Amino acid sequence: MTAEPRSKLTRPLTSFVGREDDIRTLSEHLKTQRLVTLTGAAGCGKTRLALEIAARQSQEFADGTCMVELGGLTEPELVANQVAAATGLLDDRVRPMIEMLAERLQDRSLLLILDNCEHLLGACASLADVLSRNCPALRVLATSREPLGVTGELTWQVAPLGTPDPERTTTLTQALRSDSVRLLLERAQLSRPGFALTQDNLPAAVQVCRRLDGVPLALELAAARLRVLSIEEIATRVSDHLSLLDSGARAGPARQRSLRAAIDWSYDLLSEPERLFFSRLSVFAGGFTLEAAEEVTPGGTLETRHVLDLLARLVDKSLVQVEELDRRQTRYRLLDTLRQYGRERLDEKEEGAELKRRHFEFFARLVQRADPHLHGSSEERYWLEKIRQEHDNLRSALDWSETGAPEDGLRLATGLGAYWYVSGHLDEGRRWLERALAITGESSVRGKALVRLGRLALKQGDWEASRRFDREALAWSGLADDPHTKARALNQAAFIRVQEGDLRAARAAYEQALALDRDIGADFWVASSMDHLGQCIRFQGDHQAAGRLLRESLEIRAGSTTSAVWRPRSSTSPSLLWIPVTWPAPTRR
């Protein structure tokens, strides 16, 4: 289990503009209200407001602040897991995740942001209800297009930014009292350094703010176009798009039409390669890297060599957000509203199925590269973080595979087994593996999948399920002539025997597993089997034999590139060196 973060917030790269009254009032509400939900239309700034409140309120919460992004999640049953992962509270026990969170957070002074709840409303409501009832010092700040509907919920409608009255806005000073004008100006100066409001262009700026109803995302998209258009041209084009929407079938609430107009207009101004690239980027969930974009999006007239330039252009136009994780790595993402729009455009092109297949294949290759490093490798931490960053994309890939490529999906889920085990996503891992096994028949990877499923169950203490999966894995490993899978299944079955006190049966299984690993010749697994067998023999009272095995294991590890996952328990008894950390003493039989 990892430690809880003091503060875990996405850090926006641009300034926050306006809403000072909202921030003051909401900050006061959070002193007494356990659940506050920010509601409003897409693009109105709910997430940004929540982040700003959290940043300013972080010192008020002894255990810090944490943001849980739910936009890339499609499975309602994983909401609690996502919160547990974000707060560092995943544990190994078999029990409802919500119950575990309520217990672990009951004395915590923490501000928890649940972002983008609207597509997972029921699950978010259930979680928020339990936490607000059981955790008096915890505050939940949710963002959603509609209320969660929980007793005690305080709902706050996030309105668009205030727009100026053209009749009363005749000077620059008057205009800059409007939050929408200030946002437009600040973002305009990012797009075109040196841009300034003047008496001449003031009417056009006011018109843009009013025509876009002060919707922040729409204003940012408009400001990004100042690289190539004047503010007067932007005002004209936005008005033209709104007129088309007013007369068309998509007419709806004014704010929604304003945002749609801004997105339509931004999209229409793109070159054909930019449009194609933008729509293809919508296949990613939870963000992407340049490498992923270069592997997944090319096809037809769009070549790999074009990707970096196209990506830079979409960033310049505020259609793609940049997230700098550290100095060595940059991630990109589409805001959920823009991603949904891109999906619509992608569906119009009828290339969605092929793109999802390429998306799946890219992330399957990533897991294939990562898997060998998740068993004690010196690079384990790097690959764990790599997979963690792509978890939403991997979920999306697994979801697609259930109808698109079930056997490949089983292979991907199997490859993720080690990640789920080490990271603590035990419930989720079992769910994906069980689903994949249920929809596939005979497969070369089935035995390995069963072993990894058994391992997840074993870590949760669900011995009966683990025993069942291991038995089936042993049967499949015999049919497939797979000694590695057989050795892992024997090891897991032996572990349960040890816990039950049947040391004789456990020793026989461990000895068989060690013999198989020696034949295979993989140092890590030979050393691992020696550790387990040595511990079992020690429990039987043969300390000399146990010491020999454990010393040999140490010698193998010393000459290996893998990092030890054991620690010394005693500096005085050589036969007790390097005993597995997690082993409890068995009940003697």
pLDDT (0 to 100) of residue 567: 35
Q: How far apart are CA 406 and CA 589, in angstroms?
A: 44
140: closest CA among 129, 149, 151? 129
Question: Mean pLDDT throughout 457-482?
Answer: 84
Bridge partners of 157, per DSSP, are 39
Structurally, at CATH architecture level, domain 7-157 sits in: 3-Layer(aba) Sandwich (3.40)
Convert the pLDDT of each residue in 524-564 to its tens digit.
Answer: 788 888 888 988 888 888 888 888 888 888 887 776 554 43
Q: How far apart are CA 423 and CA 410, in angstroms?
A: 20
Sheet holding 65-69, edge to edge: 7-8, 65-69, 111-115, 139-144, 35-39, 154-157
Q: Which amino acid is residue 74, in one-letter code? A: T
Question: Mean pLDDT throughout 99-103?
Answer: 90
Q: Looking at the predicted structure, is the pLDDT value of residue 503 above 80?
A: yes
Q: Looking at the predicted structure, is the pLDDT value of residue 335 above 60?
A: yes
Ranking 28-42, 165-179, 440-454 by mean pLDDT, the lowest is: 165-179
pLDDT (0 to 100) of residue 442: 79
Q: How do 139-144 and 111-115 pair as beta strands? A: parallel
pLDDT (0 to 100) of residue 480: 62
| Fold of the CATH domain 272-350 | Arc Repressor Mutant, subunit A (1.10.10)
- Strand ranges inside 64-120, DSSP E: 65-69, 111-115
Ranking 128-142, 228-242, 422-436 by mean pLDDT, the lowest is: 228-242
pLDDT (0 to 100) of residue 258: 64
Q: Looking at the predicted structure, is the pLDDT value of residue 272 above 90?
A: yes
Q: Looking at the predicted structure, is the pLDDT value of residue 423 above 60?
A: yes
Q: State the chain's mean pLDDT as an integer.
A: 84
Ranking 115-124, 165-174, 505-514, 522-531 by mean pLDDT, the lowest is: 165-174
Question: Mean pLDDT throughout 366-383?
Answer: 86
Where do the H-state alpha helices sit in 286-390? 290-296, 307-316, 336-349, 352-370, 380-389
Select, from the ranges 202-206, 242-246, 346-350, the one with the highest average predicted confidence (pLDDT): 202-206
452: closest CA among 432, 481, 479? 432
Confirm whether pTM is higher than 0.85: no
**Count H helices, E strands: the chain?**
27, 8
Ranking 244-248, 347-351, 372-376, 413-417 by mean pLDDT, the lowest is: 244-248
Query: Domain boundaries in the chain?
Result: 7-157, 172-268, 272-350
